[in-house]
Structures are given as C-alpha cells and as structure tokens.
C-alpha cells in the first residue's frame, strides 16, 4: 500500500485475514492487553465485542474524557445506540461482519467503528461491551480538534442518512 489511512489499510487486509475474528488495538497500546483473553470468553456468543474505556477504567487527560463523553452522548441521542466506545482500539469483530460492511469503511477516517456498530445493531447482530483499562498519558501527535470535528460531522451524517432512509420507505 502506497497511501496512508486506517480505513484503507483495513479494507485492504479484510480479504486477506485467515481467521474468523479480527482484533483491533491502538498502535500505542494504551488499552490494557488483558482485554484480549477477556474477549475470548465471549467470542462464541457475539459478533462484535467492544472494549470500553467508559465501562472500564481510564487514565486519560480530562479534555479527552470530556470530548469522548460528549461524542458518546450525541451518538446515543441521534442514533439510539447504547454503547460507550467508538474508538479504534479494543474491538473484536467477526470477519464476516467486516466483509458485509466493507463499503462503510472510509479510506482515511476512524468513523468506520460507529458505522459498523450502528449497522450491525440495525441488522440484529449480537454485540457485547466489556470493560477495558486505558492508560493514555502520552503526548499525542494526534490532532484532537481535527479528529473531534471529523467524528461529529460523521455521526451527524450517519444520522441524516438514517433519517433520509426512514422518510423514503
């Protein structure tokens, strides 16, 4: 792959995965790796396992916690989904779920998590949220303001798309 983008990398890799489950972790390993064995106890009964910093414990800067809380509140309000973590890290998907929703994965963005979860909920897939410990004390090169604006725009667009579909049924 010559071009960057987390979504692009995921879309490229999905057809190449050889196992029935796909584990997603942040590259900085800010989520405690005990999430991995905890997840294995639930894989047979669920299609997606969400590791949640909100349900678990988080050692993050206040600005990150506030931004996450507001985003989750808006996602719940607009989309009616009751999960508390739509970040990239600490997620396990059945491969066939990602294959089904591959068209919802944008090349550059991190919004594919909420797109996949939202559509999986609508389609009746089984999703479990479990606690995860998060230690996020690093100085990030990640532009929080840009990412925040991007995510809010994407959740609003997802809501608008859903409303438009409901109006035209």
Instruction: Give the tens place of pLDDT for each residue, 9-18.
Output: 899 999 999 9
Domain boundaries, the chain: 6-164
The CATH T-level fold of domain 6-164 is: Spore Coat Polysaccharide Biosynthesis Protein SpsA; Chain A (3.90.550)
pLDDT at 126: 96
The number of residues making up the chain comes to 169
Q: Count of alpha carbons within 13 Å of 57, Cβ hemisphere only?
A: 5
Top pLDDT among 7 and 22 is at 22
Q: Which of 96, 110, 100, 84 lies closest to 47 in space, CA to CA?
A: 96
Which residue reads 């608008």 in tokens?
160
Distance from C-alpha of 107 to C-alpha of 16, rounded to nearest angstrom: 17
Question: Angle at Cα 146 formed by Cα 140 and Cα 150, nearest 5°?
Answer: 125
Q: Which DSSP symbol is given to 24?
A: E
pLDDT reading at 47 higher than 90: yes
């Amino acid at each position: 792959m010559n071009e960057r983008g987390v979504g692009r990398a995921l879309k490229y890799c999905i057809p190449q995965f050889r196992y029935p489950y796909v584990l997603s972790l942040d590259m900085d390993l800010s989520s405690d790796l005990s999430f991995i064995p905890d997840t294995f106890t639930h894989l047979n009964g669920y299609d997606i396992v969400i590791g949640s910093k909100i349900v678990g414990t988080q050692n993050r800067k206040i600005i990150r916690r506030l931004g996450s809380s507001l985003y989750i509140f808006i996602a719940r309000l607009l989309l009616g989904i009751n999960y508390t973590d739509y970040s990239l890290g600490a997620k396990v998907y059945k491969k066939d779920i990602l294959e089904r929703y591959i068209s919802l994965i944008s090349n550059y963005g991190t919004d594919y998590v909420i797109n996949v979860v939202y559509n999986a909920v609508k389609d009746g897939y089984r999703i479990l949220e479990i606690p995860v410990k998060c230690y996020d004390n690093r100085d990030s090169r990640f532009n929080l303001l840009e990412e925040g604006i991007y995510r809010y725009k994407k959740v609003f667009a997802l809501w608008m798309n859903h409303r438009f579909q409901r109006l035209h049924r």
